[in-house]
Amino acid sequence: MADNAKTTAAMVIPTMRYNDAAAAIAWLCEAFGFEKHLVVPGEDGTIVHAQLVFGHGMVMLGSARASEFDNLQKPPSALGTIPWPPPNKRLQRTVRSAARR
């Protein structure tokens, strides 16, 4: 999968909000191999905007806050649980990194 990411151009860039965006950035980089492209810190340890890259792909994220835009986008904690596929190398790497968010 990582090899495909290096040769595939991204056409869609997902955005996410996290209750603790700084911790989410650290987790996404450690567990999945994302790299920080841009991180704009805000007040009180919040993240105004961040761009993480994986090969040619990118995700954008920031701290959840009360705004009209954030009413349309909820942090993962508001979504409940997501079923995982059978274990594989990516999942094993995630578990090894203590990914529990």
pLDDT digits (tens, 9 = 90+) for 41-50: 998 999 999 9
Banded pLDDT at 40 (limits 50, 70, 90): very high
**Least confident window among 5-19, 58-72, 80-94:** 80-94
Does some domain include residue 17? yes
Tokens (6 digits) for 51: 């761009």
Instruction: Flag whether the pTM goes above 0.85.
Output: no
Does some domain include residue 50? yes
**Amino acid 71: pLDDT:** 74
pLDDT above 70 covers what percent of the chain? Answer: 75
- SS3 of 22-84: the string is HHHHHHHHHHHCCEEEEEEECHHHCEEEEEEEECCEEEEEEECCCCCCCCCCCCHHHCCCCCC
| Domain encompassing residue 30 | 2-95
Range among 2-16, 54-68, 83-97 rated most confident: 54-68
Helix (H, G, I), strand (E, B) or coil at 19: coil
Domain count along the chain: 1
Does some domain include residue 31? yes
Measured between alpha carbons, how far is 61 from 51 in angstroms, rounded to an integer?
Answer: 7
